[in-house]
Structure 1
Amino acid sequence: MLELMMLTGTVVYSITTNFPFSSWGEALFLTLQTIAICFLVMHYRGETVKGIAFLACYAMLLLALLSPLTPLAVVTLLQASNVPAVVVGKLLQAATNYHNGRTGQLSAITVFMLFGGSLARIFSSVQETGDPLMAGVFVVSSLCNGLIAAQVLFYWNAKPPHKQKKEQ
């Protein structure tokens, strides 16, 4: 749900501020994928009616956010809330890596692609939108992704701790 909120904030903010589709289109497709996953989780739990209600509520919320009745300040706040969400999510991952002394099953390729992608998004956001809030989200994301990428390099050859057998 947190990811859906972040993606929705980006889509609504981008539509409201008339940014070109190329600067936010991936957020729309990720939003659609996330909504589909949410529905399917409920459906396969045998809660299809609950899933349909979720879809209807989300659609009404989206319509309300995109309507002229919603002040720009609310939409901007929704977009700005991405910053603490990114920071908390990534720092929790970094803290877990530090506590474990390794990155576990974390995919190095994925981490480096996320880092490179967030760096590229800084440039594209500045070029396509000129919006400091959009670029700022990607600056913060790049810093956090860079921290996790550094941990992947630092803990590259770290082995999981050996569990000692208890003598009885």
Structure 2
Amino acid sequence: MLELVALTGTMVYSITNNFPFSSWGEALFLMLQTITICFLVMHYRGQTVKGVAFLACYGLVLLVLLSPLTPLTVVTLLQASNVPAVVVGRLLQAATNYHNGHTGQLSAITVFLLFGGSLARIFTSIQETGDPLMAGTFVVSSLCNGLIATQLLFYWNAKPPHKQKKAQ
């Protein structure tokens, strides 16, 4: 749900500010994937009616956010709320890595692609939107992703301690 809120915030903020589709299009497709997953989770739990209600409520919220009824300050606040969400999520991961003394089963490819992608998004958001909030979000994301990437390199050969079998 938090990911859906973040994606919706980016998408609504970008549409409201008339940014080019290339600056927010991935948020649209990720949002569609996320709501599909949410619906399917409910459907396979036998809660199809609840899933349909979720889709209807989300559609209604999206319409209200994109309508002239929603003040620009609310839309901006929604986009700005992405920054603490990114920071908290990444710092929790970094703290867990530090506490464990290893990065567990984090995928090196995924970590480095996230880091590189967030770096690239700084420049594309500056070029395409010129918006400091959008660029700032990606600067913060890059710093946090860089921390995780650094930990991955630092703990590269560290292994989780083996659990000893209990004697019977």
TM-score bracket, shorter-length normalisation: over 0.9
| Cα distance between partner residues in 1 of 2:113 and 2:37 | 23
Which residue of structure 2 aligns with residue 114 of structure 1? 114
Which residue of structure 2 aligns with residue 63 of structure 1? 63
Aligned length: 168
Q: Does the residue aligned with 1:161 lie in a helix, a strand or coil?
A: coil
Deviation at 1:167, TM superposition (A): 5.3
> What is the one-letter code of the residue matched to 2:18?
N
Deviation at 1:160, TM superposition (A): 1.3
Deviation at 1:42, TM superposition (A): 0.3
> What is the one-letter code of the residue matched to 1:98?
Y
Show the 5 A alignment for 1:74-113.
Answer: 74-113=74-113
> What is the one-letter code of the residue matched to 1:141?
S
Give the TM-score, by structure 1 length. 0.98
Show the 5 A alignment for 1:44-63.
Answer: 44-63=44-63
Where has structure 1 moved over 4 Å in runs of 4 or more? 165-168
- Unaligned stretches of 5+ in structure 2? none
Which residue of structure 2 aligns with residue 24 of structure 1? 24
Cα distance per residue 1:46-79 (max 9 Å; x no partner): 0000000000000000000000010000000000
| Cα distance between partner residues in 2 of 1:72 and 1:162 | 53
Q: Does the residue aligned with 1:65 lie in a helix, a strand or coil?
A: helix
